[in-house]
Amino acid sequence: MAYKIFIDGKDGTTGLKIYERFAQRNDIELMQISEDKRKDSGERRRLINESDFTFLCLPDAAAVESVALCTNPHVRILDSSTAHRTAAGWDYGFPELAPAFRSSIEKSNRVAVPGCYASGFGSICYPLTVSGIMQRDYPVVCHAVSGYSGAGKKAIAQYEDAERSVEFDSPRLYALTQQHKHLPEMQKVSGLSYTPIFDPYICDYFSGMSVTVPLYARLLAKKVTAHDVWEMFSNQYDGCRFVKVAGFMGEGTLPEPFIPANTLDGTNNMEIFVCGNDERIMITSRFDNLGKGASGAAVQCMNIMMGIDEGTGL
């Protein structure tokens, strides 16, 4: 029997991508909502409570409302908004971080799908703190670039407007007040004592992301070389299907000494690079902000919750 799936917010960027990933699957039944009832709470309540799995691809306030509409204890909800990523009673949807994360997802009825930037940041900083290489009060700085697709429909329209301003030709730094909405989960999931400095740039390409955390070796909790750090990450993600660690300094993956951010678009893959030298170490996570950073991660978590191959449809 096919699982009944409802996507609340199907017309958003993440919802559309999830919908596309279901196109070739015959093990699910997609429950559709009429366009004229898309914001009808009664109809949404009915569909949510009749589903086996509901995806929330909504603004935070609407996601909270949808969770409140669910009265059927058997419905399993995956929320791609920011609303529940640090909330009690919700499991964090990044199974590769540790066996405990995967186990929690398998049994969960409430999974918070990580934010795109937070996925890259957590893939770097969680292993560093858990391994003891980086102390929890290390003054972390994070730099990141993303394609414009992650900024929502309004930004996509701005970037794709033939009459757009020249400023859209250039990378644009934002979150200037250091209050980016991903920061709470970045700090909590990675176990940091203090909120990191975060410098994200939106750039003139559609999708793909790279997130970088630079480290001063002299400030770390353990005396390590850059190669030691690479070995730790290689062990951390050994055997993972979607998260891979490139050879040291990108060997075997980078044909030139550059890390482009858009080469994994359309996939659910993530690549970790350890570069630099024994004084200044640079760790970069590269992935698709719409894939492992959003819709791909959501579908992967649902597959794990179903107890099937986590790569189904990916």
Tell me the residue type at 220: L
Sorted by sequence, the CB contacts under 8 Å of residue 253 that are 6+ apart come out as 246, 247, 271, 273
Tell me the residue type at 275: C
- Tokens 């951390």 belong to residue: 236
How far apart CA 205 and CA 226 sit, in angstroms, is: 31
- CA distances (Å), 63 to each of 59, 184, 300, in order? 6, 18, 20
Closest CA to 230 of 139, 130, 133: 133
How far apart CA 213 and CA 67 sit, in angstroms, is: 34
Instruction: Please say if 203 is a catalytic residue.
Output: no
Task: Choose, from 116, 142, 203, 275, the residue flagged as catalytic.
Answer: 116
How far apart CA 287 and CA 121 sit, in angstroms, is: 12
Tell me the residue type at 20: E
- CA distances (Å), 280 to each of 34, 196, 220, 225, 226, in order? 55, 18, 11, 9, 8
Catalytic residues: 116
